[in-house]
Structure 1
Amino acid sequence: MDIRSLTAAQSYAVARPATQPDPDLAGMAQGLRSTFQDFAATLKQSEQMSGAAMTGQADPHALVQALAQTELAVETAVIVRNKVVEAYQEILRMPV
């Protein structure tokens, strides 16, 4: 057997696990999914509370609390979005 083909076979055997899915990334994806679901639930709860307050079925204090939670969630989402955009722009500025 030629030494080059032996080296190629060894390199392939080492590189092959890199094509397998990383279980740590699957956990991260699940964490992101639950974060987005929590964000959507917060918005939905605030919307329901606002509707109940307009019909006089909700306590004004509960409405203010729901709106404050929604404001915090939206501000957090905007900050995360800005950080992702900054990181993407930084990657684009890297020389190739």
Structure 2
Amino acid sequence: MISPTSAAAAYGRARPEISPADTLPQGVTNAATDFARALEQVDLTATGAMAGMTDTHDLVHSIAQAEIALETVVAVRDKVVEAYQEILRMPV
């Protein structure tokens, strides 16, 4: 069984993986930074809600923003994969 301490430690180890790399184009880096910021805001708001310090309305609002950010990232990823597959289908 996973303890809360081991889950928190695993989350801490995985957290740097969503930070943007320095070798990406500026637009991609900005988008990744904005996405990471949206997820970080949800984390802070959810933690505050669990502690009774944040209003439920703020929690729902931040979750909705994170959902929109995730849907955007997924749409961009799908377009990149589609473009890659199109390149693979090109005759050489």
Q: Answer whether TM exceeds 0.5 for this pair.
A: yes
What does the per-residue CA deviation read over 1:52-72, in whole Å, with 9 as the maximum and x for residues that have no partner?
101111000000000000000
The structure 2 residue matched to 1:76, chosen from 62, 72, 78, is 72
Q: How far does residue 31 in structure 1 lie from its aligned partner after superposition?
A: 2.1
Unaligned 5+ residue runs, structure 2?
1-23
Name the Cα RMSD after superposition: 1.2
Q: What is the CA distance between 1:42 and its match in structure 2?
A: 0.6
What's the CA shift for 1:30?
A: 1.6
Q: Give 4+ residue runs of structure 1 displaced > 3 Å after superposition.
A: none
Counterpart in 2 of 1:66? Answer: 62
Greater radius of gyration (CA):
1
TM-score normalised according to structure 2 size: 0.71
The answer to whether structure 1 residue 86 and structure 2 residue 86 are counterparts is: no
Q: 2:12: which partner in 1?
A: none
Q: Percent identity?
A: 54
Structure with more of its chain in helix, by fraction: 1
TM-score scaled by length of structure 1:
0.68
* Partner Cα distance (1:31, 1:85) in 2: 18
Q: Name the CA distance, whole Å, in 2 between partners of 1:94 and 1:88.
A: 10
Gaps of 5+ in 1: 1-27
